Amino acid sequence: MYIKRIFSVRDILKWTRYYVFLFILIALVPVFLFDIVGLKWLHVPWLPLGVLGTAVAFITGFKNNAAYDRLWEARKIWGGIVNTSRSWAIMTNDFITNELSNLSKSNDELTLIKRELIHRHVAWLTALRYQLRKDRPWELHLQTSRSKMDVETERYDVYEDNVPIKDAIGGYISEAEYEIIFSKTNQASQLIGLQSKQLKQLKKEGLIDDFRHMEMSKMLVELYALQGKSERIKNFPYPRQFATLNYIFIWIFILLIPYGIMQEFESFGDNILALVNNSGLENSMRYTFQQTVAKHFVWITVPFSALLSWVFHTMEAIGEISENPFEGGPNDVPITDLSRNIEIDIRQLIDDTDIPEPYAWRNDIIM
């Protein structure tokens, strides 16, 4: 999917609101024990905590770079599918003729052959995207405990979750082909195999010559390669040892942050208190207010700790939702929309009829 507009601060806070409240609660507990209960020993030095934070930042940056590479590679692969599909449509429209054939098929018969090849290609696009939308155990939307970091599901629909693949693909291929491909595991690969089989028959009938057959076969080989690249990203996740350890390190750091900065803010409050006591404003409301704030300045730990926790956790979450670009989240590659746009383009190239409309945006999100 793809989000149309840029995230605003409101969107980001709404996206992370559950964790913002959690970070505030995590910081409130040690500050309460430190300031109200009087457990002044309840702190850790900032220096080792700062070293830990630096290490966590490096690991998180490494993960985010790797996750972005997976996302960007997936988008480039589907850019290649767009270009190859258009090339396939042009070759189908221009290469299949009666120039070398003794059968002298009519224009209507040639049009039917071209439509069959184009429709089968649309079926391949459909089968491929359904395969890429299938659930994998490591994907984020199956991890309910972390799904709060995603945009609410009522804001968008995943087409492949609502329409069975057999209904989506049935209108593009014959009943015989329908039975063939669904008797096999990989429907997309079977459809390219059927394309190759028909090219061989067209060559035999003289509707395409050797050179044109070779060029169109190259397009099928390229489609196989692009399919394989997509399957590689889908079926091999970002290594779990890196993802899991990074998640654990982030939470260790988040839990320790308030303990590392409480003493710093208390010392800052003591300095403020010294300035207030030397201000000569004794017995005034302003003096009382400033003295109270200075004595309990350690409570500023809560918003600062929540802010630091939010930054680290949100950066980790961004990498998490980016590492599986085909699962159907709002920040993934919009393969459903790309497939529909490809279908419109290639069917218009052969002057086909009953061409569908592009998918509509819903709440600024496209599939």
What is the per-residue pLDDT across 12-25, written as a single tens digit (0 to 9) for each? Answer: 777 788 899 999 99
**Residues making up the chain, counted from first to last:** 367
- Quote the DSSP letter at residue 144: G
Helical H segments across 96-186, by residue range: 107-133, 159-162, 165-169, 175-181
How many other CB atoms are found less than 10 A from the CB of residue 9? 7
Helical H segments across the chain, by residue range: 9-15, 17-32, 46-95, 107-133, 159-162, 165-169, 175-181, 187-204, 210-235, 240-277, 285-295, 301-322, 335-349
Return the amino acid letter for 272: I
Q: Which residue has the tokens 């090219």?
A: 199
Spatial separation of the C-alpha atoms in residues 221 and 225, rounded to whole Å = 6
Kindly tell me the sign of the dihedral angle through the C-alpha atoms of 60, 63, 67, 72: positive
Return per-residue pLDDT of the chain as tens, 367 residues.
455 444 556 667 777 888 999 999 999 999 999 888 888 888 888 888 889 999 999 999 999 999 999 999 999 999 999 999 999 999 999 998 888 777 777 888 888 999 999 999 999 999 999 999 988 887 765 444 334 444 444 566 787 888 888 888 988 988 999 999 989 989 999 999 999 999 999 999 888 989 999 999 999 999 999 999 999 999 998 887 888 888 899 999 999 999 998 888 888 877 777 776 676 666 667 666 666 777 777 888 899 999 999 999 988 888 888 888 888 877 888 999 999 999 999 999 988 888 888 877 776 677 7
Answer for the pair 129, 315: CB distance below 8 angstroms, yes or no. no
Spatial separation of the C-alpha atoms in residues 63 and 239, rounded to whole Å = 10
What is the per-residue pLDDT across 264-287, written as a single tens digit (0 to 9) for each? Answer: 888 887 777 777 667 666 666 766
Kindly tell me the sign of the dihedral angle through the C-alpha atoms of 317, 318, 323, 328: positive
Round the CA-based radius of gyration of the chain to a whole number and report it. Answer: 30
Q: What is the pTM (predicted TM-score) of this model?
A: 0.85
For the residues of 268-282, what is the DSSP string, one character each?
HHHHHHHHHHTTT-T
